[in-house]
Amino acid sequence: MDTRTLIETARALVAGDRGLLAMDESTPTANKRFAPLGIPQTPEARRAYRDMIVTTPRLGECISGAILYDETLRQQTNEGLPFAQARIVPGIKVDAGAKPLALHPGEEVTEGLDGLRGRLDEYRGLGARFAKWRAVIRIGETIPTRACIAANAHALARYAALSQEAGLVPIVEPEVLMDGDHPLERCATVTEAVLHAVFDALDAQGVLLEGMLLKPNMVVPGLEASDQSGTDAIADATLRRQVPAAVPGIAFLSGGQSAKLASARLNAMNARNRDRLPWALAFSFARAIQQPALDAWRGVAENVPQAQQALFHRADCNRAARRGEYDAATDAPRRA
């Protein structure tokens, strides 16, 4: 394991005020996002969409790394460059998706460990510098169960160890979903239990905490909860003491929050805790950066400049949120 490179890469991904762009939707997920906009569900349409994203002018000012999907890593930009060489440090989603957990109706465990060592070697050869694995935890009356948390924590830790062995920085993503009508406190309790289990498993597998990043959910009330809580309450509930200080950065997922709320909440976390936290608080959003751009693009080449403007705007707002300088009232970086 090349410890120094892992540590340097992990730090670089969350350095300054930049963050990650998760553009690694699997083919079914990308198709699901395309369908309502009437965009063809083809490899070429997905390639053109990803080309629009990575060629956005000045995107590199806000985005340190982009998480790609297997299909994209093997495709080329309009200019004929492999996506892995398209300006932004490339990462790769390596899990094979969440599958039903045996004997536990309503719960899932993420698969993809079989043969992972070989795939990681190949991805590294194709240019990837970091990897991502997403576990999904659903909240319900009697779930998550211990079985679900333990199975997902174990898989995340095995993936993280294999990634570091291959020289790739693991982005460890345990996502507690927003679906449901539970209050903020319930999401906090579940997130706490999940993070404890994940860091226990990472420790058991010998994962180098300095050479990884955590990609968790923000602690929010269920989407159908009657009390949706204020931005500051969410920011305070999200900062979990369960994350060891050795982890260089926490890059939050957006999880279906609106783009503006995701920026406002990240901003509140940074603004309220300036210089008081051991980790960088960054972003690794998919929907909260891309959705406005996708809505503007709609698969039409003439819409590319407008879509790129929308994409840059969201990336720039989140960059400002890292500094605690996002203004929710105007949905723009605060100008001095």
Query: Catalytic residues, which ones?
Result: 173, 215
Window of 152-160, 184-192, 226-234, 252-260 that interacts with ligand 13P by CB under 6 A:
252-260
Interaction between residue 314 and ligand 13P (CB under 6 A): no
Give me the least distance between CB of 204 and ligand 13P, in Å please. Answer: 24
Number of amino acids touching ligand 13P (CB under 6 A) = 10
User: CA 66 → CA 11, 73, 92, distances in Å?
Assistant: 15, 11, 8
CA–CA dist 17, 323 (Å, integer): 6
Q: Six-digit token pair at 86?
A: 């398209």
Give me the least distance between CB of 95 and ligand 13P, in Å please. Answer: 9
What is the rounded (10 degree) CA torsion for 8, 284, 195, 190?
A: 170
What is the rounded (10 degree) CA torsion for 321, 326, 332, 336?
A: -120
Interaction between residue 315 and ligand 13P (CB under 6 A): no
Window of 68-76, 146-154, 235-243, 247-255 that interacts with ligand 13P by CB under 6 A:
247-255
| Cβ distance to ligand 13P smaller for residue 199 or 285 | 285
Strand 326-327 with 332-333, pairing: antiparallel
Interaction between residue 59 and ligand 13P (CB under 6 A): no
Q: Exposure pattern of 313-333 as b/e (b: 16+ CB <10 Å)?
A: bbbbbbbbbbebbbbbeeeeb
Q: CA 187, 321, 258, 173 torsion: positive or negative?
A: negative
Applying CB under 6 A, which of residues 52, 288, 294, 320 lies at the interface with ligand 13P?
A: 288
Residues 126-145: x where in contact with ligand 13P by CB under 6 A, - otherwise, as a string: --------x-----------
C-beta separation of 94 from 133 below 8 A: yes
Window of 4-12, 44-52, 120-128, 282-290 that interacts with ligand 13P by CB under 6 A:
282-290
Give me the least distance between CB of 125 and ligand 13P, in Å please. Answer: 23
Considering only residues 16-55, where is the footprint of ligand 13P by CB under 6 A?
Answer: 22
CA–CA dist 211, 188 (Å, integer): 26
Binding footprint of ligand 13P on the chain (CB under 6 A): 22, 134, 173, 253-255, 285-288
